[in-house]
A and B are shown apart, each in its own frame.
Chain A
Amino acid sequence: MRDFILTAGMIEKTRMAIENSLISAGVRTALLIDGAGNILSNCGKDSSDIDTISLAALAAANLGATSQIAKLIGEEDFSLLFHKGKTDNIHFGRIGSELILITIFREDVSLGLVRCRVSELAKTITEIFEDN
């Protein structure tokens, strides 16, 4: 695992990409984190109400655990990580091998759309972080 060094340019590019793709589609919160639970980007309207530090730590651990579970039963990894709640749903998507994009959304946004946008974003975000 490597350390991430964020510049203002990277942060801005990432934020724009996430805003244009997910937030404009109605996703409430999107959080880009690394495998150690650090927050790289935080977008959307509810993000100040949520304890994002705890969320990032738990999500990183949760995805790590899920990968291990996959290996135990002979799978490479699970492609879909999604929890459905009464009002809020949460989706975890891998971005390359080191980053995770967490999205929180409600009924007005479909899971299919979120999955599709996250996989598009994976490419854009990977490029932003690889250029550096």
Chain B
Amino acid sequence: MALIDLSKREVHCKIVYCGPGRCGKTTNLLSVYESMAEKDRGKMLTIDTKGDRTLFFDLLPLNLGTIRGFNIRIQLYTVPGQTMYEATRKLVLKGVDGLVFVADPLKVRRQSNIESLDDLRRHLQDYGLKIEKMPLVIQYNKRDLADTPTPTLTIEELESDLNDTLKVKTFPASAIEGVGVFETLQEISKQTVRYVANKHLLADMK
């Protein structure tokens, strides 16, 4: 949920990266972290299990400059994608203002993408939120694998699995190479700030 501080003229929003285990959510945040100037980013907090799996969440606070005199502060979170961490995933989604769904193109992960999106929809519903009404973009990650022997899904297949009814903006990406990461962030930030502003600030931000 957003926090609007009228005295400091700051807007704080929470954007959560979702998607199945190993789809590249943490890699997205690391890539954003590396590409942002030091003055615009806070400390990146990660809580890892063994190896690189997210146990609880990652957090990266960013300063995105000012819009109509308001300082825009964004907190990027990732959820743990693995199915067994459902309870913690739900906790991280508490108070979310905007969402990035990161899809994994590996053929073997086809069903996991669909289940993960259903799981997201269900958790949002429990918080009284409708996925169709939320700021949301989908990122088709790991596009670099398309040119390798690894069996991957085409963008068309992913579209029909995940975006057939939602019809949100999508971004091809290769988070590991930093490709498409910034475009994804830029679009979801824009949507999220607009969503929060429409709810509360129209009068104040003019």
A residues sitting closer than 8 Å to B (CB atoms) are: 1-8, 11, 34-38, 40, 51, 53-54, 57-58, 60-61, 64-65, 68
Q: Does B143 contact A (CB under 8 A)?
A: no
A3–B199 CB distance below 8 A: yes
With beta carbons under 8 angstroms apart, the residue of A4, A35, A53, A61 that contacts B4 is A4
Number of interface residues of B (CB under 8 A): 29
Give complex CA distance A68, B126 in Å: 14
B-to-A contact residues, CB < 8 Å: 1-7, 12, 14, 42-43, 45, 56-57, 59, 61, 75, 77, 87-88, 91-92, 94-96, 127, 196, 199-200
Tell me, in angstroms, the Cα distance from A76 to B206 when the chains sit together.
45
Chain A residues within 8 Å of B94, by CB: 1, 35-36, 60, 64
Q: Report Cα–Cα, A68/B91, bound state, in Å.
A: 9
How many inter-chain contacts with C-beta < 8 Å in the A-B complex? 80
Enumerate chain B residues within 8 angstroms of A1, measured Cβ to Cβ. 1, 94-95, 127
Q: Name B7's contact: one of A2, A11, A64 (CB within 8 Å).
A: A11
Q: Please name 15 further chain A to chain B contacts, defined as beta carbons within 8 Å, in addition to the given A6-B5, A36-B14, A53-B42, sorted by A numbering.
A: A2-B1, A3-B196, A3-B199, A4-B4, A6-B4, A7-B6, A35-B94, A35-B95, A38-B12, A40-B3, A53-B61, A54-B45, A61-B56, A61-B57, A64-B94
CB neighbours of A54 from chain B (8 A): 43, 45, 59
With A1-B1, A34-B95: A6-B6 Cβ-Cβ less than 8 Å: yes
Q: Which residues of B contact A3 (CB under 8 A)?
A: 1-4, 196, 199-200
Distance, CA A64 to CA B199, complexed state (A): 26
Q: Which residues of B contact A64 (CB under 8 A)?
A: 91, 94
B residues within 8 A CB of A58?
A: 45
Task: Among A37, A64, A65, find the residue whose CB has the most chain B CB atoms closer than 10 A.
Answer: A37
Choose from B2, B5, B43, B75 the contact partner of A37 (Cβ within 8 Å): B75
- 11 CB contacts below 8 A, A to B, read A2-B1, A4-B2, A5-B6, A34-B3, A34-B95, A35-B1, A37-B14, A53-B59, A53-B61, A53-B75, A65-B91
